[in-house]
Amino acid sequence: MNIATAPLAERLRPRTLDDFVGQEKLLGPNGPLRRAIMQNTIPSMIFWGPPGVGKTTLALLIAETTKRQFYNLSAISSGVKDLREVLSRPTGLFPAILFIDEIHRYNKSQQDALLGAVEKGQVTLIGATTENPSFEVNSALLSRCQVYILEAFGEKDLRELVDRALKKDNWLKEKKIDFKSYDALFRLSGGDGRKLLNLLELIVLGKGEASEIEITDEWVTQVAQQNIARYDKSGEQHYDIISAFIKSLRGSDPNGAVYWMARMIVAGEDPAFIARRMLIMASEDIGNANPTAVIMANACMQAVNVIGYPECRIILSQVAIYLATSPKSNASYLAIGEAMEAAQRTAHLPVPLHLRNAPSKLMKEIGYGKDYKYAHDFDGNFAKQNFLPDEIKGTKFFEPGHNAREEELKKKLQHWWGDWYNY
- 385 located within any domain: yes
Cα torsion 345, 347, 350, 355 to 10°: value is 100
32 and 139, same domain (yes or no): yes
CATH number of 167's domain: 1.10.8.60
Three-state SS for 73? strand
210 and 313, same domain (yes or no): no
Using the Cα atoms of residue 20, residue 25, residue 29 and residue 34 in order, give the sign of their dihedral: negative
175 and 286, same domain (yes or no): no
Cα torsion 100, 106, 112, 116 to 10°: value is -10
282 and 392, same domain (yes or no): no
28 and 132, same domain (yes or no): yes
- 88 located within any domain: yes
Can you give the pLDDT at residue 368? 83
Can you give the pLDDT at residue 310? 82
| Residue 6 CA to its chain's centroid (Å) | 29
Provide the domain count of the chain.
Answer: 4
Among 231, 233, 57, 61, which Cα is nearest to 130's? 233
Please check whether residue 239 is in contact with residue 264, taking contact to mean a CB–CB distance below 8 angstroms. Answer: no
135 and 159, same domain (yes or no): no
40 and 144, same domain (yes or no): yes
Q: What is the rounded distance in angstroms from the CA atom of residue 265 to the CA atom of residue 231?
A: 10
- 231 located within any domain: no
Can you give the pLDDT at residue 228? 52
Mean pLDDT of the chain: 86
Can you give the pLDDT at residue 1? 41
Can you give the pLDDT at residue 324? 95
- 10 located within any domain: no
| Residue 147 CA to its chain's centroid (Å) | 13
Q: Where is the domain boundary, 115, 149, 183?
A: 149
30 and 130, same domain (yes or no): yes
Using the Cα atoms of residue 223, residue 228, residue 234 and residue 237 in order, give the sign of their dihedral: positive
137 and 175, same domain (yes or no): no
Can you give the pLDDT at residue 315? 96
Can you give the pLDDT at residue 405? 92
312 and 407, same domain (yes or no): no
The strand pairing partners of 179, in sequence order, are: 215
Q: Where is the domain boundary, 205, 226, 247?
A: 226
- 422 located within any domain: no
**Angle 292-307/312-324 helices, nearest 10 degrees?**
170
Can you give the pLDDT at residue 414? 92
Q: What is the rounded distance in angstroms from the CA atom of residue 223 to the CA atom of residue 359?
A: 70
CATH number of 109's domain: 3.40.50.300
Q: What is the rounded distance in angstroms from the CA atom of residue 274 to the CA atom of residue 262?
A: 11
- 194 located within any domain: yes
- 11 located within any domain: no
181 and 256, same domain (yes or no): no
CATH number of 318's domain: 1.20.272.10
115 class by beta-carbon count within 10 Å (0-12 exposed, 13-18 middle, 19+ buried): middle
Using the Cα atoms of residue 194, residue 198, residue 201 and residue 207 in order, give the sign of their dihedral: negative
| pLDDT single digits (tens) 229-247 | 445 555 546 778 888 999 9
Q: What is the rounded distance in angstroms from the CA atom of residue 352 to the CA atom of residue 241?
A: 48
Positions of the chain with pLDDT lower than 50, given as ranges: 1-3, 229-230, 236
Can you give the pLDDT at residue 152? 82
Specify the pairing of strand 176-179 against strand 96-101: unpaired
Q: Where is the domain boundary, 133, 149, 165?
A: 149
29 and 145, same domain (yes or no): yes
CATH number of 391's domain: 1.10.3710
Among 266, 257, 359, 394, which Cα is nearest to 317's? 257
Look up the domain containing 378 and give its range.
348-417
- 294 located within any domain: yes
Write down the H helix ranges in 285-401: 292-307, 312-324, 331-345, 361-365
